[in-house]
Structure 1
Amino acid sequence: MTGITVCCGTVNSIKSLWETRIKKSKDDLKKEKEQKGQRAVGRLTGAWEDRITLAKLKEKVVTEEGRVILRIEREEWKTLPAALAQLAQIQEWQLHRIGLQKIPHFISTFESLIVLDLSRNSITEIPKEIGKLTRLRELLLSYNRVNYVPEEIGSCVNLEKLELAMNHDLDDLPAQFSNLKKLYHLDLSMNQFTTIPDCVVSLPSLEWLDMGSNGLETLPDDIHRMDKLHTLWLPRNELEYLPDNISRMQSLDTLVLSKNKLRDIPPLMESMSNLRFVNFRDNPLTYDVTLPDLNEDVDEEENDREMFGREFMHFYIQEARKRGSQTFTSVLNVTLDGVSEIASSS
């Protein structure tokens, strides 16, 4: 019979190894249970937080003239919670001065949205999902930090009013913008445009356009294509001349061109019979002209309108024509005198 010798050290090592493995296994199971518990608590906490947030948002919902409106102003809401998507029946957002930094991607769930008013916030971009809002009529994003408009904006085919004033770095619009066939009101003032984009010129229903305080250097030669436009605000730009075709804008009744670099007024503008108010104040016009004294009964406001309005424009054109004719006559006389002298000397 052969004896088997068992080393006590080896048995103890094996025993210690198994005890360590068993302990680790128990610890792992305990840890896993704790993590599951924490996740469950987290989900429960998150659910409660969503319910609390949703309840808070519901307090901001009002109904006016049959329209469901979410109205928040002067509160801190840098981001909007996903729970808001549960209120998809809202037709109008009015969220002002709440520090909002981003339009949520779930905005596309609000298919009934008619008005999206997020002016005076800190929004930097318009999400592509905006194109899903096919019922949207008004998009108001003035006084934000938007520097890019996505091409999907062209899918908002019912948009009638768009305001993007005071976004500072905005200087272009996508070609798809011309798809907004119902747009009649557009405010692009206080940005960085150097000309009126062609996609704006081609808008068939545009009636009101403000591009004041940009960097406009020229106006498009085909500006007359905006044949429905009745109000055009272009103050505080860099315009040095006006295209003759501006005189073909037969619907235009208000034109503001103050604080540009205009040297002259196109004579053809004299034929713009529908033009009721025009302002050329603070331009370095070639001729310094003043209107005849007005009636003493005319109040200051009326006097201001007369001095820099339609009457001033007509008087300036007539004066420029007269002085231009005098200059031509003087040049002609000098030329004829020179010819006479040459003839007599020969």
Structure 2
Amino acid sequence: MVGVVVCSSVSSIKALWETRIKRGREEEEQRRTTSRGGTTGRLSVRVWEDRAVLARLKEKLQMEDGRLVLRIEQEEWKILPGCLIQFIQAQEWQIHRTGLLKIPRFISSFQNLLVLDLSRNAVAEVPKQIGTLTRLRELLLSYNRIQFVPEELSGCESLERLELAMNPNLNELPDQLRTLTRLQYLDLSMNDFSLLPDCVVAMPGLEWLDMGGNRLQRLPDDIHRMEKLHTLWLQRNELEKLPVNISRMASLDTLVLSSNRLTDIPSLMEDMTNLRFVNFRDNPLTMDVTLPPRKKVAEDDEDDREMFGREFMQMYIQEARKRSYAVLNMHCVNQIDEDSADK
């Protein structure tokens, strides 16, 4: 009887153990099925979201003047999604007032880009990958938070226009940018520059430069190296004098110097025959010069006369020369009197 009982007990235990193993396997399989279902669910949601984003972006693509343009304005896009890479055929980005925080590194995939306009956002950094865009002609990043421009930007060999205005903490540019031989238009206004960057002076094709609203205290003596420059904006800086070589800028026809600390005008500027527009308004110039009134001048002509300031500049230089001669003559007379008294 004892042996039977033991055998019965062992059989019961074995059956119970097999039942538990079977149940455990079923539970594990159920968990796996549930897990797969959850992952699939998450993937489905993600795919759906990506498709929704793609659909939104596709609506922002339009043909303008023969170019495929991505235009996003006054919508919140702090980060550009990776699915944007599906539109690498785009030739122009116009993304404004979106709160965009950074330029994506996958920008290097957009080799057809001719214009990259991300002005009026919150971009704080220009990625090194920007330098791979060898066809890019215009890079517009004004009104952002950029503090640093990478030397790799020099790789944008086709760049003709660069706007970096109103990035208040920007105060230097890498010297490598001097190799941007096709750059014609450069806007560095309302930043924190205390000196005109050497690379800017060395840019061979530069024609238009705005450095207004910075902290410039002086201009480089070799400023005349900017042989093609025809427009120079220097308003609202801290300039106290102008280098003599500014008179050797033969192509310069527009020069704005209002709201600086200039006390004099170099006499050699009188020979700048190509200078059409000049403005010395709101400077503490040593002499007060008033232009003589004109007879029967139309109102528009009078406004032009006030605005251009070339006549004022010439009259100032002439008056300064007269006073210098008068002082010199007075000194000579006094010297003669002193010599006579000594004899």
TM-score (norm: length of structure 1) = 0.90
| Closer/same/farther in 2, CA of residues 300 and 16 from structure 1, 3 Å limit | farther
Are the equivalent residues in 1 in contact too, given 2:279–2:307 (CA < 8 A)? Answer: no
Query: Cα deviations across residues 178-212 of structure 1 (Å, max 9, x unaligned)?
Result: 11110000000000111111101111110000000
Are the equivalent residues in 2 in contact too, given 1:280–1:308 (CA < 8 A)? Answer: no
Amino acid at match of 1:264: D
| Closer/same/farther in 2, CA of residues 17 and 128 from structure 1, 3 Å limit | farther
Shift of 1:306: 4.0
| Closer/same/farther in 2, CA of residues 319 and 308 from structure 1, 3 Å limit | farther
Residue aligning to 1:11: none
Residue aligning to 1:214: 214
Residue aligning to 2:293: 293
- 2-structure distance, mates of 1:199, 1:16: 85
Partner of 2:209: helix, strand, or coil?
strand
Amino acid at match of 1:40: T
Residue aligning to 1:140: 140
Shift of 1:252: 0.4
- 2-structure distance, mates of 1:74, 1:44: 30
1:305 aligns with 2:305: yes
Residue aligning to 1:202: 202
Query: Cα deviations across residues 285-321 of structure 1 (Å, max 9, x unaligned)?
Result: 1111111112342316634634761111110000000
Partner of 1:107: helix, strand, or coil?
helix
| Closer/same/farther in 2, CA of residues 57 and 313 from structure 1, 3 Å limit | same
Residue aligning to 2:9: none
1:276 aligns with 2:271: no
| Closer/same/farther in 2, CA of residues 327 and 18 from structure 1, 3 Å limit | farther
Are the equivalent residues in 1 in contact too, given 2:189–2:214 (CA < 8 A)? Answer: yes
Which sits farther off after the overlay, 209-218 or 282-291? 282-291
1:85 aligns with 2:85: yes
| Closer/same/farther in 2, CA of residues 307 and 162 from structure 1, 3 Å limit | closer
Residue aligning to 1:317: 317
- 1-structure distance, mates of 2:200, 2:306: 31
Gaps of 5+ in 2: 7-14
Partner of 1:116: helix, strand, or coil?
strand
Are the equivalent residues in 1 in contact too, given 2:192–2:215 (CA < 8 A)? Answer: yes
- 2-structure distance, mates of 1:305, 1:223: 27
Amino acid at match of 1:321: R
Partner of 2:113: helix, strand, or coil?
coil
Residue aligning to 1:186: 186
Amino acid at match of 1:259: S
Are the equivalent residues in 2 in contact too, given 1:290–1:307 (CA < 8 A)? Answer: no
Shift of 1:332: 2.4
Partner of 2:247: helix, strand, or coil?
helix
- 1-structure distance, mates of 2:122, 2:23: 54
1:223 aligns with 2:217: no
Query: Cα deviations across residues 274-293 of structure 1 (Å, max 9, x unaligned)?
Result: 00000000111111111111
| Closer/same/farther in 2, CA of residues 61 and 307 from structure 1, 3 Å limit | closer
Amino acid at match of 2:55: A
- 1-structure distance, mates of 2:163, 2:308: 28
- 2-structure distance, mates of 1:242, 1:261: 10
Query: Cα deviations across residues 119-156 of structure 1 (Å, max 9, x unaligned)?
Result: 11111011111011111000001111111100110000
Shift of 1:47: 1.2
- 2-structure distance, mates of 1:104, 1:133: 13
- 5 Å matches for 1:105-120? 105-120=105-120
- 2-structure distance, mates of 1:338, 1:28: 118
| Closer/same/farther in 2, CA of residues 332 and 56 from structure 1, 3 Å limit | same
| Closer/same/farther in 2, CA of residues 28 and 180 from structure 1, 3 Å limit | farther
Shift of 1:331: 2.2
Shift of 1:322: 0.5
Query: Cα deviations across residues 80-102 of structure 1 (Å, max 9, x unaligned)?
Result: 11111101110000011111111
CA RMSD of aligned residues (A): 2.5
- 2-structure distance, mates of 1:323, 1:17: 117
Partner of 1:209: helix, strand, or coil?
strand
Residue aligning to 1:261: 261
